[in-house]
């Protein structure tokens, strides 16, 4: 409590109240008129100078918080003081932030009530952030002191923190965007406008049943279900090869399964076009061999399906590998002791215990396919899907935000339906396999009836992936892909040339600025994504509290909305006070954290579903609090989930396209936006060379993360050790 009171006073008395123009991570303000310059002054200095007097009431709850310091937690006034301090402080902070903007009062009723303000304010800075955090967590401590969730301060504070940041960075911007579905051309609201767009035949038409084209809603649904099924099956296949076979090149297989996820989506699309397009090498070879006319079969449902399956199978693998490894060998050995063969053991013991991972992998594959933008844009042809239709509704000649909002609502409905179906399939059964007891068993090998098709599928898909990446690598070292195949490294030298001068190294390549910015943004976003995601997973699996289902829904919402809508909604929400961060690196970090957080949540839930709650209870019985239990007991057993969250969030930040297009600025240009610019200029060699470089960088980063995080150690023998004994 004392810590958060100090944080609040520091924000009010010392730190700049408003956002610094040079960026949140710039500290030049310390030597540029601080603290007397209005742009950098703390709230207390502004009030003392007779400026921004609406900030003065914030001092009252801060002063009131001092009366709780010498009180015991059992004192009823202790909780009352903290709750009132937090509620009044946050309430006034929000009221003045939304009520007063860069042009004075934001609402006409305020102008009519108080008259013209004659002053203005900008977005919240360090001071506002510190004070808001202090009020929030003082409020949470007051709630805990009242006995909420057994008085556990860590759990109550974690729930409050996640609710506030998800509301701020997910619900608020999406709500701003969806309101556009009811806005008419003259700025009023109308349900008829929404109905006309929602029941449009282009959205729900079924003319494909009579030889025509189906609506985009049905196209997206069928594609997403197919992709989710295929990626879950392929993810399970690779997880079984790694964990339940004697395959010796498991590390190479892990790297191969991760490759597609660290590749910009349109690069896979280009490689597929060069292989199977109308003039592709495979298409031309087959046409010459069989004497048939080449077709454009790739463009449409088949091409998108192949590209998305390539791109999203690694997500299923990253989720399933931890779950498959977590199945207790003792249970499988017990089944074999009772004379069950390998197939019966796998079907009745192993597979049912993998249901949380299978359900989560299917859900993520479904959502990814629904929200994917790059692959349908490159390979869609006449097969329209929701994500591309939303993009064209926003940036096309029609510029219809209302239609984009309606399409986003339909997409969200499909996603939430999949979420509900997943929960019904899992039910309330227990999938615990890792408890506090020792477990030194050995996973049995796959039965032959499963091993043969698994190895065939894994081999064929692995070979196909290798061919795709060989094409990408080859395309980066030829003069003009498909026209002039002379080998050259000029694309790499143009992008990443370096010159040594007397003063040191000079980065002369055209891509260095966007490259370093991308590395920096991704490195900041990845650990934040993992932290928020895993804490949320812990709350969902280990705690019971009111509104838990709504809480889980909120954490998944950002993943269900296409990146194009996220980008536009962030611009609408965060281009004006109280949170004014457009054009900065912070908005990129925030968008990546909350766009990718659901993967950490789902991976964490899948892993924690297998950890017996007796582990937590034993720790709490021995005197540890919830934070110590989470840090010292739960986290070490969740290394696969931590790795999945770190890897996925890092590589998605490196390869994201749709939201980035709207959020980059001249100072913060990302690699993917630079690559798209090269593609638009027909500089395919430069685009592919840059993409190849990103792939190599991310492979290195994934390997480093694997070493840093390590593997879960549950004291089990390996197949080799079992064989020796």
Task: Rank 48-52, 350-354, 481-485 by mean pLDDT and report only the highest.
Answer: 48-52
Q: Which phi-psi region, left, alpha or beta, contains residue 583 (left: φ > 0; alpha: ψ -120 to 50)?
A: left
What pLDDT is attached to residue 725? Answer: 45
Last residue of a domain, one of 487, 515, 547: 487
Domain count, the chain: 3
- Tell me: pLDDT of 25 over 70: no
* Structural domain contains residue 180: no
The answer, as to whether pTM is greater than 0.85, is: no
* Structural domain contains residue 66: yes
- Tell me: pLDDT of 120 over 80: yes
| Omega before 620 within 30 of 0, i.e. cis | no
Last residue of a domain, one of 113, 131, 146: 146
Residue with tokens 């409590």: 1
Are 279 and 135 in the same domain? no
Each residue of 642-673: pLDDT tens digit? 777 788 788 888 888 778 877 888 788 899 88
Are 462 and 512 in the same domain? no
- Tell me: pLDDT of 43 over 50: yes
What is the H or E stretch that residue 243 is in? helix 216-243
- Tell me: pLDDT of 137 over 90: yes
Within a 10 A sphere around the Cβ of 119, how many other Cβ atoms? 12
CA distance 350 to 448: 15
* Mean pLDDT, residues 530-539 taken together: 88
* Mean pLDDT, residues 5-15 taken together: 95
Each residue of 552-593: pLDDT tens digit? 878 877 766 767 778 878 888 898 889 988 888 899 999 999
- Tell me: pLDDT of 698 over 90: no
Are 347 and 232 in the same domain? yes
Each residue of 176-233: pLDDT tens digit? 877 878 877 776 778 888 888 888 888 888 887 777 788 899 999 999 999 999 999 9
Are 412 and 531 in the same domain? no
Looking at 7-16, 99-108, 259-268, 445-454, which range is the least confident one? Answer: 259-268
> In which domain, by residue range, is 509 found?
502-709
Report how far apart, in Å, the C-alpha atoms of 206 and of each of 212, 310, 614, 723 are. Answer: 8, 29, 53, 59
Each residue of 317-332: pLDDT tens digit? 878 887 787 676 777 7
Are 515 and 477 in the same domain? no
Q: What is the DSSP string of 617-659?
A: HHHHHTT--HHHHIIIIIGGGGHHHHHHHHHHHHHHHHH--HH
- Tell me: pLDDT of 721 over 50: no
* Structural domain contains residue 282: yes
What pLDDT is attached to residue 481? Answer: 66
What pLDDT is attached to residue 710? Answer: 58
- Look at the alpha carbons of 655, 656, 661, 665 in this order and tell me if their dihedral is positive or negative: negative
CA distance 326 to 91: 45
* CATH number where 586 lies: 1.10.3720.10
* Structural domain contains residue 108: yes
Is residue 61 very low, low, confident or very high in pLDDT (cuts 50, 70, 90)? very high
Task: Rank 95-109, 253-267, 281-295 by mean pLDDT and report only the highest.
Answer: 95-109
CA nearest 530: which of 581, 606, 592, 588? Answer: 592
* Mean pLDDT, residues 121-138 taken together: 93
What pLDDT is attached to residue 272? Answer: 85
Are 651 and 701 in the same domain? yes
Are 676 and 699 in the same domain? yes
Each residue of 372-431: pLDDT tens digit? 877 888 788 889 898 888 878 877 666 777 788 888 888 878 887 887 787 777 665 544
Are 531 and 463 in the same domain? no
Are 458 and 576 in the same domain? no
Is residue 337 very low, low, confident or very high in pLDDT (cuts 50, 70, 90)? confident
What pLDDT is attached to residue 55? Answer: 94
* Structural domain contains residue 176: no
Last residue of a domain, one of 429, 460, 487: 487
3-state SS string for 141-170: HHHHHCCHHHHCHHHHHHHHHHHHHHHHHH
* Structural domain contains residue 581: yes
Within a 10 A sphere around the Cβ of 615, how many other Cβ atoms? 17
Q: Which two tokens stand for residue 430?
A: 């227990």
Are 398 and 468 in the same domain? yes
* Structural domain contains residue 495: no
Is residue 720 very low, low, confident or very high in pLDDT (cuts 50, 70, 90)? very low
Task: Rank 280-289, 504-513, 607-616 by mean pLDDT and report only the highest.
Answer: 504-513
* Structural domain contains residue 715: no
What pLDDT is attached to residue 560? Answer: 64
To the nearest whole percent, how much of the chain has pLDDT over 90?
A: 22
Are 537 and 478 in the same domain? no
* Mean pLDDT, residues 497-514 taken together: 85
CA nearest 141: which of 85, 216, 220, 211? Answer: 85
pLDDT, averaged across the chain? 83
Report how far apart, in Å, the C-alpha atoms of 216 and of each of 192, 198, 296, 368, 431 are. Answer: 21, 12, 21, 16, 38
Are 558 and 676 in the same domain? yes
What pLDDT is attached to residue 438? Answer: 47
């Amino acid at each position: 409590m004392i810590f958060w009171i100090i944080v609040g006073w520091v924000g009010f008395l010392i730190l700049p109240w408003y956002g610094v123009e040079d960026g949140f991570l710039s500290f030049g303000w310390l030597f540029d008129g601080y603290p007397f310059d209005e742009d950098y002054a703390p709230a207390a200095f502004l009030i003392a100078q007779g400026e921004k007097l609406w900030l003065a009431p914030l001092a009252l709850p801060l002063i009131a918080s001092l009366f709780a310091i010498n009180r015991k937690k059992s004192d009823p006034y202790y909780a009352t003081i903290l709750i009132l301090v937090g509620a009044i402080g946050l309430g006034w902070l929000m009221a003045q932030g939304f009520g007063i903007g860069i042009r004075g009062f934001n609402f006409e009723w305020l102008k009519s009530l108080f008259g013209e303000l004659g002053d203005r304010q900008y977005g919240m800075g360090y001071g506002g952030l510190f004070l808001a955090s202090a009020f929030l967590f003082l409020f949470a401590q007051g709630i805990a002191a009242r006995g909420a969730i057994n008085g556990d301060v860590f759990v109550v504070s974690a729930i409050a923190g996640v609710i506030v940041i998800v509301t701020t960075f997910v619900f608020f911007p999406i709500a701003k965007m969806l309101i556009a579905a009811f806005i008419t051309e003259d700025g009023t609201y109308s349900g008829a406008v929404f109905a006309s767009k929602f029941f449009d035949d282009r959205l729900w038409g079924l003319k494909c049943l009579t030889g025509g084209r189906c609506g985009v809603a049905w196209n997206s649904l069928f594609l997403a279900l197919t992709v989710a099924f295929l990626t879950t099956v392929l993810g399970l296949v690779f997880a079984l090869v790694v964990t339940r076979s004697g395959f010796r090149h498991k590390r190479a297989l892990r790297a191969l399964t991760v490759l597609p996820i660290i590749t910009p989506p349109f690069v896979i699309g280009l490689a597929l076009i060069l292989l199977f397009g109308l003039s592709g090498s495979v298409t031309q070879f087959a046409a010459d061999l069989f004497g048939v006319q080449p077709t454009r079969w790739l463009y449409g449902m088949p091409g998108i399906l192949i590209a998305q399956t390539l791109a999203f199978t690694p997500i299923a693998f990253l989720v399933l590998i931890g779950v498959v490894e977590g199945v207790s060998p003792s249970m499988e050995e017990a089944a074999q002791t009772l004379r069950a063969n390998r197939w019966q053991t796998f079907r009745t013991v192993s597979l049912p215990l993998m249901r949380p991972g299978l359900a989560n992998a299917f859900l993520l594959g479904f959502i990814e396919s629904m929200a994917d933008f790059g692959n349908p844009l490159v390979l869609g042809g006449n097969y329209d899907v929701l994500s591309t239709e939303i993009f064209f509704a926003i940036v096309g000649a029609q510029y219809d935000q209302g239609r984009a909002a309606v399409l986003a609502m339909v997409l969200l409905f499909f996603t939430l339906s999949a979420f509900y179906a997943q929960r019904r399939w899992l039910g309330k059964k227990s999938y615990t396999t890792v408890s506090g007891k020792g477990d030194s068993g050995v996973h049995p090998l796959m039965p032959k009836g499963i091993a043969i098709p698994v190895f065939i599928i894994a081999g064929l898909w692995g070979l196909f992936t290798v061919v795709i990446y060989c094409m990408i690598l080859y395309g980066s070292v030829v003069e003009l892909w498909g026209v002039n195949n002379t080998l050259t490294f000029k694309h790499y030298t143009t992008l990443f040339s370096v010159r040594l001068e007397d003063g040191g190294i000079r980065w002369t390549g055209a891509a260095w600025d966007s490259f370093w910015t991308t590395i920096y943004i991704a490195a900041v976003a990845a650990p934040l994504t993992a932290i928020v995601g895993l804490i949320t997973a812990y709350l969902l699996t280990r705690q019971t509290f009111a509104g838990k289902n709504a809480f889980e829904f909120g954490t998944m919402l950002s993943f269900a909305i296409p990146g194009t809508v996220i980008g536009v909604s962030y611009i609408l929400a965060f281009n004006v006070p109280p949170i004014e961060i457009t054009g900065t690196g912070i908005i990129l970090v925030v968008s990546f954290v909350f766009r990718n957080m659901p993967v950490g949540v789902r991976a964490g839930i899948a892993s924690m579903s297998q950890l017996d709650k007796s582990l937590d209870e034993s720790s709490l019985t021995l005197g540890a609090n919830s934070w110590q239990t989470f840090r010292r007991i739960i986290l070490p057993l969740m290394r696969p989930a931590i790795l999945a969250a770190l890897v996925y969030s890092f590589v998605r930040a490196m390869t994201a396209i749709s939201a980035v297009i709207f959020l980059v600025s001249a100072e913060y240009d990302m690699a993917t936006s630079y690559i798209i610019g090269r593609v638009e200029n027909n500089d395919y060699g430069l685009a592919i060379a840059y993409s190849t470089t990103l792939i190599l960088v991310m492979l290195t980063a994934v390997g480093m993360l694997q070493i840093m995080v390590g593997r879960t150690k549950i004291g089990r023998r390996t197949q080799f050790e079992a064989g020796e004994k």
